[in-house]
């Protein structure tokens, strides 16, 4: 690399660093502490240094366009109970039951919000389910779907759980061991 290019790059880097430090020093404490997202921090630094902002900090068009892989906010037991009530209310209107995907769409929930309320409602005995994996249908327990011949059938046990161990008479060896223990 020629010496003139190297010195020019060094000058530009030094100038940039000085501009960033000046912007930070001239900002108020509230501005520094009030920034909560990485995008808005990057945008405010760009505006403070006089450079055009690469991305707007927050616009209505981008409000719902965020990544969907973010974690859910912590929900209280009251929040989950409210979701369970809305699920039960929805399923009362659907006598044949609904799949989780349909419940999610009708209630406007994210797919990550649904598993826990469904699991708790089934464990509490408020909902029943039939089917496996994505074909699982949820219905109000004791409602029309549970008793209708065309409705959802009760959940079947898997083959492994359905097998019962063979009951055989104890062998002579097992009988002798049991006698020694007594």
What pLDDT, on the 0 to 100 scale, is given for residue 119? 93
Residue 123 has pLDDT above 90, yes or no: yes
Q: Is residue 156 packed enough to be buried (19+ CB in 10 Å), middle (13-18) or exposed (0-12)?
A: exposed
- Give tens-digit pLDDT for 59-116: 344 444 455 567 888 888 999 999 999 999 999 999 899 999 999 999 999 888 899 9
Q: Is the pLDDT of residue 5 over 70?
A: yes
Beta-carbon contacts of 170 under 8 Å, excluding residues fewer than 6 positions away, are 178
Kindly indicate the confidence band of residue 26, based on its pLDDT and cuts at 50, 70 and 90: confident
pLDDT digits (tens, 9 = 90+) for 130-141: 999 989 999 998
Contact 20, 45 (CB under 8 A): yes
Residue 149 pLDDT more than 50?
no
Token representation of residue 86 = 């809305």
Q: Which of 61-75, 117-131, 153-167 has the lowest mean pLDDT?
A: 153-167
Q: How is residue 149 written in tokens?
A: 């011949």
Provide mean pLDDT across the span 140-157. Answer: 55
- The pLDDT of 40-51, averaged and rounded, is 48
Architecture of the 77-153 domain: Orthogonal Bundle (1.10)
Domain with CATH 1.10.10.10 in the chain: 77-153
């Amino acid at each position: 690399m020629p010496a003139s290019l190297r010195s020019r790059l060094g000058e530009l880097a030094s100038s940039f660093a000085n501009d960033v430090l000046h912007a930070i020093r001239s900002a108020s404490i509230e501005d520094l502490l009030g920034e909560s997202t990485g995008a808005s921090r990057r945008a405010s630094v760009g505006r403070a240094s006089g450079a055009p902002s690469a991305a707007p900090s927050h616009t209505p068009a981008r409000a719902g366009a965020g990544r969907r892989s973010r974690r859910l906010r912590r929900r209280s037991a009251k929040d989950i109970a409210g979701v369970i009530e809305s699920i039960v209310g929805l399923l009362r209107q659907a006598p044949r039951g609904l799949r989780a995907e349909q419940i999610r769409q009708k209630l406007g929930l994210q797919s990550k919000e649904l598993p826990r309320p469904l699991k708790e409602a089934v464990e509490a005995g408020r909902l029943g389910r039939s089917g496996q994996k994505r074909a699982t249908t949820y219905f109000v327990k004791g409602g029309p779907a549970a008793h209708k011949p065309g409705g959802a059938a009760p959940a079947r046990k898997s083959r492994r759980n359905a097998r019962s161990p063979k009951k055989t008479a104890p062998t002579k060896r097992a009988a002798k061991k049991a006698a020694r223990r007594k």
